[in-house]
Amino acid sequence: MPVLLIIILATLIVSLLSLVGILFLKLSDTKLDKILFYLIGLSAGALMGGAFLHLIPESLHLLNCEKSLIYVLLGFILFFLIEKILHWRHCHNIKCTIHTFTYMNLIGDAVHNFIDGLIIATSFIVDFKLGLITTLAIILHEIPQEIGDFGVLIYGGLTKKKALMYNLITALTAIMGGLVGFFLAQQVENFVSLLLPIAGGGFIYIAACDLIPEIKKETNLRKSILNLLILILGILILYGVKFIAPH
């Protein structure tokens, strides 16, 4: 089977993971609201784990430490500027409007999925088995992240159907990344070396400045502790991927 077709199939499978939110479509708004904070905690943990355990460490293999961290800071600042441009307005009612962090999460997810596509493509070009291992690793860390992302989009004010649609649209950037990686195989490493830490900085910004402050609004001690444990679980899942199928 041609490598290009394999890359397209692998990135398509990864993209379709964004539809995992279908599992929550039949839940009533009341029941879904009860788990939204926990989904946000899982997403925050996955974003932090993805940034500190995957994106940034990988960038350190491609860039020296100082350059990598500079790009992480640039990514953090870039996402801050994007949020300012989108004119975020605080809302005390969960359903009253679409929060800007919803769009921020979509932007970060699109970049992340694009990078996933690049990594899948380059790994298959280097070695078929490496491509399979890389795709498996990405699938394992995409599942908890996509579940969390669905919760974030609902919490931000989107309907369930729109959340699924937007999640799928951003996930399809993985296919774009795969195609770019295939046709620019000789140059893609330098491209990825810049995008990895920038995306990492963006993930840290979303988790630390938007999602975690939302979690802190919970005043019930038992629920707060449970949400903290779920956040840690999100980090641990991403950490476990390093041992199951490192990429």
Task: Please report where in the chains the tokens 């629920």 appear, as a residue.
Answer: 223
Distance of CA 153 to the CA centre of its chain: 13
**Looking at the chain, how many residues does it have?**
247
Distance CA 181, CA 117 (A): 7
Residue 87: the pLDDT is 53
pLDDT digit string, tens, across residues 23-40: 666 666 666 667 667 778
Tokens standing for 33? 């609201």
Q: Write b or e for each residue in 13-47: b if 16 or more Cβ atoms lie within 10 A of its Cβ, otherwise e.
A: ebbebbebbeebeeeeeeebeebbbbbbbbbbbbb
First CA to last CA distance, the chain: 23
pLDDT digit string, tens, across residues 194-246: 877 888 898 899 889 878 888 888 888 888 899 899 999 989 987 887 776 55
pTM of the predicted model, to two decimals?
0.67
Task: Answer whether 195's CB lies under 8 Å from 135's CB.
Answer: no
Task: Please report where in the chains the tokens 């609201």 appear, as a residue.
Answer: 33
Residue 141: the pLDDT is 65
pLDDT digit string, tens, across residues 44-95: 888 888 889 888 888 888 888 999 999 999 999 988 887 777 554 444 344 4
pLDDT digit string, tens, across residues 148-199: 677 677 777 777 778 778 888 888 999 999 998 888 766 756 766 787 788 8
Distance CA 76, CA 79 (A): 5
Distance CA 53, CA 48 (A): 8
